[in-house]
Amino acid sequence: MLDADEQIVSKTDLKGRITYANRAFMRICDYAEPELLGVQHNIVRHPDMPRGVFQMMWETLQAGQEFFGFVKNLTANGDHYWVFANVTPDREAGREVVGYFSVRRRPSARGVQAAARLYAEMLAAERGAGPARAMEASRALLAERLGGEAYERFVLALQLG
């Protein structure tokens, strides 16, 4: 469990391979540093996370913007943990994106409850649509549930409100 003032920090290259993981990350996910470095960050991706959320994250990052969201992650031993994630492009000399920083904090209980319900619906939409249309169905359901509100505003209100 993450302490209230503790942060999980990791850095990846452009392909999503971990180049840095702080001790909190290693402790919470139960991986040693050699098991993480050079490995795809999705090593901690929980199957309960909708693909549509990650598609939205990558679109946001590729547009040069930071992403905020609630994420359910998987530990080495099969357990899970929730975080409030802030992912930002890492720019060399302030211009060219060379990777990504991710800082995760303890999520609000209200945010986890809302995200768990919403993500379960998104996953059901993905499964119902089949692999070829999964992300499209997931994103459509998200847009419908948010009623025109931006995902970032939704998650920030749950975390900070």
User: Tokens 């992650």 map to which residue?
Assistant: 73
In this predicted structure, what is the pLDDT of residue 161?
84
Rounded to a whole number, what is the distance in angstroms from the first to the last CA of the chain? 22
Cβ atoms within 10 Å of 38's Cβ, excluding its own? 10
CA-to-CA separations, 100 to 57, 66, 96, 105, 144, in angstroms, rounded? 12, 10, 12, 17, 29
Q: What is the pLDDT of residues 46-72, one digit of tens each?
A: 999 999 999 999 999 999 999 999 999
Q: What is the value of pTM for the model shown?
A: 0.94
Q: Do the strands 80-92 and 96-105 form a parallel or antiparallel pair, or are they unpaired? A: antiparallel
Share of the chain above pLDDT 70, in %: 100
Q: pLDDT, tens digit, for every residue of 104-114?
A: 999 999 999 99
On the question of pLDDT at 43 being above 90, the answer is: yes
Helix (H) or strand (E) holding 146: helix 134-146
Residue 45 in this model has a pLDDT that exceeds 80? yes
For the chain, what percent of residues have pLDDT higher than 90? 94
- Domain extent listing, the chain: 8-160
Q: What is the pLDDT of residue 148?
A: 92
Is residue 94 very low, low, confident or very high in pLDDT (cuts 50, 70, 90)?
confident
pLDDT above 80 (res 10): yes
Half-sphere exposure (Cβ direction) of 60: Cα atoms closer than 13 Å: 18
AA letter at 144: E
86 pLDDT tier (thresholds 50, 70, 90): very high
| The CATH fold of domain 8-160 | Beta-Lactamase (3.30.450)
Yes or no: say if 65 and 152 are a contact pair by the CB < 8 Å rule.
no
